[in-house]
Amino acid sequence: MAIVEIDNIVRRFGQVTAVDHVSIDITEGEYVVFLGPSGCGKTTTLRLVAGLDVPDEGEIRIDGRVVASAASKVFVPPQRRNIGLVFQTYALWPHMNVFDNIAFGLDVQKRPRREIRERVAETLTYMQLDGLGERFPHELSGGQQQRVALARMLVARPKIYLMDEPLSNLDAKLRMEMRAELQRIHRDLGCTTIYVTHDQFEAIALGSRIIVMKDGKISQDGSARDVYERPANLFVARFVGNPPINLVEGELSVEEGRPWFHGDGLKVPADVPRSRMGARVLAAFRPEDVRVLDGAGRSDDDAPVLAGTVAARMMAGSNVIMYVDLPTGRDLRVICDKDVTYGVGDHLKFVVPKESVLFYEDAEDGVLIESEGRRERRTDA
Amino acid sequence: MTRMDARSEVVRRERWAAPRAALRWLTTPHVALSLVLLAVLAIFVIAPIVNIVVDTFTWQSGDTRFDRSAVAGEFTLFHWTRVFAGPLTRRILVEPLLNSILTALGATAVALFIGTGLAWLLVRTDLPFKRVLAPLAFVPYIMPSYTLALAWLTLFKNQRYGAPGVFEYLTGIAIPDWFAYGPIPIMIVLGLHYFPFVYLLAANALLSVDRSLEECGEVLGASQWLVLRRITLPVILPALLSGFVLCFARVIGNFGTPYFLGAPIGFMTLPTQIFSNLGMRFNGVAYILVLILITISALAVLVNQRLIGVRRSFATITGKGFVTKQVRLGWWKVPALALIGGTMFFAAILPFGLFGIQSVMSRLGVYSVEHLTSAFWLSSGETITEGRPGVLVSPVILRALWNTLRLGIAAGAVAAVLGTLIGYASVKGRGTPLAKALEQVAFLPYLVPSLAFGTLYLALFIGGFGPIPSLYGTFALLVLACTFRNLPFAARTGHATMMQVSGEMEEAAQTLGAGWFYRMRRIIFPLVVKGMVAGFTFVFVTSVRELSLIITLVTPETMTLTAMTLRFEELLLVQFSNAITVLLIAVTLVTVFILNRLGGRFGAQRSPV
């Protein structure tokens, strides 16, 4: 059974609908990431689950108990929901030292003094904060403050962890470290976690399940793999991935008894239902799926090929990102091996493997056109 | 559970939706708190005003003097007719009203001139000793408002009313009445007392002016004086107008100064007229004059809000302002310093010194070593003291000192706590009608001049009110008056402090399971304690030096030092009143010093408007 059930909730602020009929069931132990641009309603949804805000419509249940219901006006305040929350700003209390900050949740539970001391000490060690108990928050580095905020939540042993962009105030290097740390905590404790972020890398790195939100609605709800490899619509396709996914406008048509995509110099066999023939669509493929066709290499007979001139070349450590001008005026983003020797001005040919191409309806946030076989498998399940 | 069961379960739950929603609203901490605070404010702010309006339309207990058929509590228009259309209208209303407006305008002009000039010199120029002068500028405001009036008398009074003043003693020149008493000295003295108020507003305005506006003028070749005249002054003009209007609203309610300087020659203002009518038990008339005073003051504040603009949020005056490029005074430094020094000397140091000297003189008006005496400080009663023990040994005066201190402490503490709670409730409920109502009601006392406010309390609490027994003659009444009169300041401080505490501080505690009282105790109060000390300091200082507010409420048992001064002045035992004033100022300054050390920064106190 789901431990958190979000049932058709709505939250409005004046004219703006911040959360628009959102339903999510979260099973015990799941690590769910709410991902989306700022203003998409992800933090509001989190605050509704935490009880820091009240839904205008719908119902939220935690552990089978109704904690907020717009219809029956039931509302359980945060202090009786058994949740833990890590804030973006950490919200450490400046007038308390690290020990007192962490001990607060246990003080509230009126635990005996000795137990508090032991559990805080244990948590300090677990979070690698040994010896910092007497310090005050302003005497800590950003990373240490982050650890204290996590420790403060962990020590109280809540049933659900809520995290609101906890890493966004850290520099890139620390952020990587803390991601690993968060994974370790989840592995150790296996606690249900809802994690809010606008950082797609973070979402994909951490979440076993990602819920992409836009304008208060759920845009896609799936595994990290799904969201990255099979974005449900153009919004998700564009939002996830850096450099962004390549999109080519074109048309579907039947040739030699097979459906094909034509457009902007690209011709790809398309595994889409026959009913879509003649439709305007967008072909989408990730920059890392594009391969450079060098002189020696040879493409398969029907492998789609694009030709263009390298306009920019950026070293990104483990690989190289190239922006290529196509004759149609469009640009193509390509990620290739760091050892490639091509430079700006080189005229190159590129192969786009047909299995890596997805097709979307040509509309604002057009949805993914599923292949016939896949659609059937879905309906079976 | 079958489907039917599930449905009836939902129906059953929804039946209680409305009462549950109401209960949840009522038990939301900031809502419950707002309602409680509004109830308190209804009793101590709104009820007194409504009550006094009703009283002006009913016969008061002593009114059988005017009309044998008068029954206390019955409806009558007698008081209104007497004030507005009676044979005495000119003496009761018109003259005091005109006198009040005249002196208030004059005093405000003086305050504006000194306050703005000082602000410009201290904020925008390279005047030396600024760090010393900036805090000194507040000293006149910390002292009781009538101190300067007494000092004026000590210096300039003439033989017409008792012994001559120091000036006449030293020079032999007789001071004419118009300079010793009446409107001229009242304007000067009040201006010197209230200029720190204007200074605060003007300094904040100057600090908030974008320096690049002025630099732009300089780049275009304008001289410093041209920049000052054409750019700086117009930019801060709204703030200056605001300062003028608000200062006027405060000055017009001042009682002590016109009482000491005007009453001897029969020059009455509204506050002194109210006081004398109360003394003669013409309560109905006094209450109408109170309402007029409130109306003038409220109109001024409204004009400020509507016409001159929004209630500005002023930055604190410490720090950044002194960093920007400053106007170089050059040789002008000398006259500027002399002017400031002279003002400070006259407004702050001289009164203290004069009182000190006079309090050890056995004969008034004769300042020589052979007349030195400690009788007024230490004796157990001599002929020259009319048998009264000295200030430091008199049980009556020591009790008044104790009353003064505990009044300041009690009012300061209650106002600081209430102000913090109002700040909390209004910040938490920001934007809701309830929070707006709370803020506005808490601001109401600001519209009521001190003497008027005291009279409101006298009228309401002299008899019992609802469940509250008669409070007249109790110390609690003084505390209540000082608390609620100063509540707007405390609430503003509380609001400003609360705005600086991020909501997440409390939410974090909430998610960890802490209930409201626990959160307040462990998180909110510790985080705002500095603001509370500031609020406490402000209310403490205004309460211990308060005369106008409490003069209608004190009784021999609840006598404070300020009221004591007035008594001795009336008895012509001037040395006593001087000694008491010296004692009071010393005690106030020491306390402020200690409180400053504790963290409240009086000088950096946010403007309450």
Residue of A nearest to B20 (CA): A73
More confident residue, B480 or B86: B480
A238, A261, A288 — which closes off a domain? Answer: A238
pLDDT band for position B270 (cuts 50, 70, 90): very high
Q: Do both A222 and A173 map to the same domain?
A: yes
**Strand, helix or coil at B550?**
coil
Residue in B114, B110, B125 with CA at minimum distance from that of residue B186: B110
Residues A219-264 have pLDDT tens digits of 999 999 999 999 999 999 999 988 899 999 899 988 888 888 988 8
pLDDT at position A373 over 80: no
Q: Does A95 touch chain B (CB under 8 A)?
A: yes
Question: Do A93 and B527 lie within an 8 Å CB cutoff?
Answer: yes
Position B427 pLDDT exceeds 50: yes
Residue B305 has pLDDT above 80, yes or no: no
* CA gap A361, A280 in Å, rounded: 7
Compute the mean pLDDT over every residue in chain A, rounded to the nearest whole number.
Answer: 89
Alpha-carbon distance of B318 to A112, in angstroms, equals 46
**How far, in Å, are A259, B27, B229, B438, B495 from residue B422 at the CA level?**
71, 17, 42, 7, 7
In this predicted model, what pLDDT tens digit does every residue of B498-537 receive, in sequence order?
988 888 999 999 999 999 999 999 999 999 988 888 889 8
For chain B, the residue count is: 609
What is the DSSP track for B422-469?
HHHHHHHTTTSHHHHHHHHHHHGGGGS-HHHHHHHHHHHHSS-BTTBP
Q: Assess A72–B contact: CB distance below 8 Å, yes or no.
A: yes
Residue B292 to residues A354, B97, B447: CA-CA distances in angstroms?
A: 89, 9, 12
Across the interface, whether the CB atoms of B511 and A152 are under 8 A apart is answered: no
Among residues B276, B369, B344, B399, the alpha carbon closest in space to that of B127 is found at B344
- Together in a domain, A55 and A172: yes
The arrangement of strands across the sheet holding A57-62 comes to A16-27, A2-13, A57-62, A65-69
Number of domain units in chain A: 2
- The reply to whether A154 and A11 lie within a common domain is yes
pLDDT at B147 over 60: yes
Residues A231 and A287 in one domain: no
In the structure, what pLDDT confidence band is assigned to residue B318 with cuts at 50, 70 and 90? Answer: very low
A123: domain range? 2-238
The residue among A238, A270, A304 that closes a domain is: A238
Two tokens, residue A297: 């290499």
Q: Does B502 touch chain A (CB under 8 A)?
A: yes
With an 8 Å Cβ cutoff, is A65 touching chain B?
Answer: no
Cα B245 from chain centroid? Answer: 15
- A228 with A281, same domain: the answer is no
Q: How confident is the model at residue B411 (pLDDT cuts 50, 70, 90)?
A: very high
Rounded to the nearest angstrom, the minimum Cα separation between A94 and chain B is: 8
User: From CA B494, how far away is CA B422, in angstroms rounded?
Assistant: 7
The pLDDT of residue B321 is above 50: no
Please answer whether residues A194 and A206 qualify as being in contact, where contact means their C-beta atoms are separated by less than 8 angstroms.
Answer: no
Residue A23 φ/ψ region, left for φ over 0, alpha for ψ in the -120 to 50 degree band, beta for the rest: beta
The three-state (H, E, C) secondary structure of A49-113, written as one string: HHCCCCCCEEEEEECCEEEEECCCCCECCHHHCCEEEECCCCCCCCCCCHHHHHHHHHHHCCCCH
Chain A contact set for B522 (CB, 8 A): 104, 107
Contact state of B13 with A71 under an 8 Å Cβ cutoff: yes
DSSP tag of B390: P
Residue-level pLDDT at B6 = 61
Report the residue of B9, B27, B504, B511 to disrupt the A interface, i.e. the one with the largest count of A CBs within 10 Å.
B511
pLDDT band at B322 (very low <50, low <70, confident <90, very high): very low
Q: What is the CA radius of gyration of chain B?
A: 27
Share of chain B above pLDDT 70, in %: 92
If asked whether residues A156 and A221 sit together in one domain, one would say: yes
Question: What average pLDDT does chain B have?
Answer: 83
Residue B12 has pLDDT above 80, yes or no: no
- Please tell me the number of Cα atoms within 13 Å of A86 on its side-chain side: 26
- Whether omega before A243 lies within 30 degrees of 0, making that bond cis, reads yes
Q: What is the dihedral of CA A308, A310, A314, A320, to 10 degrees?
A: 50
pLDDT at A192 over 50: yes
Q: Is A152 close to B522, i.e. CB distance below 8 A? A: no
Asked if A263 contacts A238 with a C-beta cutoff of 8 angstroms, the reply is no
Burial class (CB in 10 A: 0-12, 13-18, 19+), A193: buried
Q: What is the mean pLDDT of residues B273-301?
A: 89
Which of A108, A199, A198 is CA-nearest to residue A153? A108
Chain B residues closer than 8 Å to A104 by CB: 509, 512, 514, 522
User: Is there a single domain that holds both residue A200 and residue A249?
Assistant: no
CATH number of the domain within which A294 lies: 2.40.50.140
**Two structure tokens written together for A323:** 């922006």
Distances (CA, A) of B215 to A378, B211, B228, B322: 70, 6, 11, 16
Query: Is the domain of A163 the same as that of A305?
Result: no
Note the helical H segments in B125-255: 130-136, 139-142, 147-156, 166-171, 177-180, 183-208, 211-219, 224-227, 233-251
CA distances from B283 to B60, B82, B90, B154 (A): 7, 12, 18, 33
Tokens coding A122: 């244990």
A52 touches chain B (CB under 8 A): yes
Stronger pLDDT, B207 or B519, i.e. the higher one: B519
Q: What is the pLDDT of residues A24-58, one digit of tens each?
A: 999 999 999 999 999 899 999 999 999 999 999 99
Query: Do A369 and A232 share a domain, yes or no?
Result: no
Indicate if the pLDDT at residue A354 is higher than 80: yes
- CA Rg, chain A, in Å? 25
| Diameter over CA atoms, chain A | 80
Do A137 and A6 share a structural domain? Answer: yes
Q: Does B10 touch chain A (CB under 8 A)?
A: yes
What the block records as the tokens of B273 is 């007229």
pLDDT of residue B308: 66
Window 145-164 of A, Cβ < 8 Å to B: 152-153, 156, 158, 162
Tell me the average pLDDT across B24-35. Answer: 91
> At B87, phi and psi to the nearest 5?
-65, -20
Residue numbers in A near B502 (CB within 8 A): 89, 91
Enumerate the residues of chain A whose CB falls inside 8 A of the CB of residue B524.
none
A44 to A22, A219, B419: CA distances (angstroms): 11, 16, 31
**Which pLDDT band holds residue A301 (cuts at 50, 70, 90)?**
low
pLDDT of residue A270: 86
Q: What pLDDT does residue B265 have?
A: 87
* Residue in the block written with tokens 């403007």: B607
* Cα–Cα dist A170/B548, whole Å: 57
Could you tell me the CATH number of the domain that includes residue A73? 3.40.50.300
- Cα–chain-centroid distance for residue B204? 20
Residues A229 and A283 in one domain: no
Distance from CA of B508 to the nearest CA of A (A): 7
Helix (H, G, I), strand (E, B) or coil at B598: helix
* More confident site: B567 or A67: A67
Residue B20 sits at the chain A interface (C-beta within 8 Å): yes
Q: What value, to the nearest 5°, has the Cα angle with vertex A94 and ends A92 and A98?
A: 65
Question: Does A188 share its domain with A226?
Answer: yes
**Nearest residue of B to residue A162, measured between CA atoms:** B511
* pLDDT band for position B311 (cuts 50, 70, 90): very low
Q: Do B18 and A73 touch (CB under 8 A)?
A: yes
A72–chain B nearest CA distance, Å = 4
Q: Which of A219, A238, A257 is the last residue of a domain?
A: A238
In chain B, residues 503-542 whose CB comes closer than 8 Å to chain A = 504-505, 507-515, 518, 522-523, 526-527
- Type of residue at A18: A
A to B CB pairs, distance under 8 Å: 87
- Cα separations in angstroms, B498 against B14, B431, B494, B529: 37, 15, 6, 10
Task: Note every long-range contact of B349-356, with CB atoms under 8 Å and residues 24 or more positions apart, other chains counting.
Answer: B350/B151, B350/B155, B351/B143, B351/B147, B351/B148, B351/B150, B351/B151, B351/B581, B352/B582, B352/B585, B354/B151, B354/B154, B354/B155, B354/B166, B354/B578, B355/B150, B355/B151, B355/B154, B355/B578, B355/B579, B355/B581, B355/B582, B356/B578, B356/B582
Q: Are strands A192-197 and A160-164 parallel, antiparallel or unpaired?
A: parallel
Q: How far apart are CA B587 and CA B392, in angstroms?
A: 13
Residue A107: both structure tokens together: 């003080």
